[in-house]
Amino acid sequence: MASDATALADLVDVEHGYRTKAGAVPALGPIDLRVDPGEFLVVVGPSGSGKSTLLRLIAGFERPTAGDVLRLGGTPVPGRDVGVVFQQPRLFPWQTVAGNIGAALRWADVPKPDRSRRTAELLAAVGLAELGPRRTWEISGGQQQRVAIARALAARPKLLLMDEPFAALDALTRERLQEDVRSLTDDAGQGVVFVTHSVDEAVFLASRIIVLTDRPGRIALDVPITLPRKGISADELRGSPEYAAFRGEIAAAVRATVS
């Protein structure tokens, strides 16, 4: 088995299928993919192309049907070196907002005396400093998703996996959260794998985009996104000709997968 401890995730000749009563469903691959520290990898592709399957394999929720998946050089197991954010926030309704973050810190073995300070820092980082005592049903959907992001970041995971985290949100909240996620993950040692259907979102967030083919998903396109990130506002970035050029290239590749 090829092993490389410096890769956050390394998939070698990976295929994955699901068993159903009607027979085997090939979902992904064969695919080779390596994710390195500092990368913000965005995965786009048609519905059913295996994007969620790819994340589930890296998270350790599934084992591949064929090939090898390594995370930090070892077999992936769900746990503290990976943070996962889903489309629905999946918060604990019996906990307050602060209690949700505190639970993640407890699992990460953060000592009790440090937990309230870290909770306050994390809530401030996602713009929810005042909402710690609220119940999760007393805040908006966008705020709930912010809590889910703070909870995923609590253990300072090397790798953050995000599966269409903003799909259920209105356009304005979505743009704000995109900006927040970019700044929260601007850490050279950390990596992100982010799934979306939105080409705009992909180009805004990514340092690299892969486009998957129709099912079973293989890599149709793998491009670095070399847009300036420092010293430029989000609006300037979205309005730049370079942004438009990348958006055009990715949109054409996605269209080609279904034609």
Binding site for ligand ATP (CB under 6 A): 18, 20, 25, 27, 45, 47-53, 215
Task: Cis check for the bond before 157: say yes or no (omega within 30 of 0).
Answer: no
What is the nearest approach in angstroms of ligand ATP to the Cβ of residue 86?
11
| Residue 22 vs 188, nearer CB to ligand ATP | 22
| Residue 154 vs 250, nearer CB to ligand ATP | 250
| Residue 115 vs 215, nearer CB to ligand ATP | 215
| Residue 22 vs 172, nearer CB to ligand ATP | 22
What is the nearest approach in angstroms of ligand ATP to the Cβ of residue 26?
8
| Residue 49 vs 178, nearer CB to ligand ATP | 49
| Residue 49 vs 143, nearer CB to ligand ATP | 49
CB 193 within 8 A of CB 71: no
What is the nearest approach in angstroms of ligand ATP to the Cβ of residue 113?
41
What is the nearest approach in angstroms of ligand ATP to the Cβ of residue 82?
18
What is the nearest approach in angstroms of ligand ATP to the Cβ of residue 85?
15
HEC string of the chain? CCCCCCCCEEEEEEEEEEEECCEEEEEEEEEEEEECCCCEEEEECCCCCCHHHHHHHHHCCCCCCEEEEEECCECCCCCCCEEEECCCCCCCCCCEHHHHHHHHHHHCCCCHHHHHHHHHHHHHHCCCCCCCCCEHHHCCHHHHHHHHHHHHHCCCCCEEEEECCCCCCCHHHHHHHHHHHHHHCCCCCCEEEEECCCHHHHHHHCCEEEEECCCCECEEEEEECCCCCCCCCHHHHHCCHHHHHHHHHHHHHHHHHHC
What is the nearest approach in angstroms of ligand ATP to the Cβ of residue 206?
17
What is the nearest approach in angstroms of ligand ATP to the Cβ of residue 216?
7
Q: Please state, in angstroms and rounded to a whole number, the distance separating the CA atoms of residues 161 and 194.
A: 6
| Residue 51 vs 218, nearer CB to ligand ATP | 51
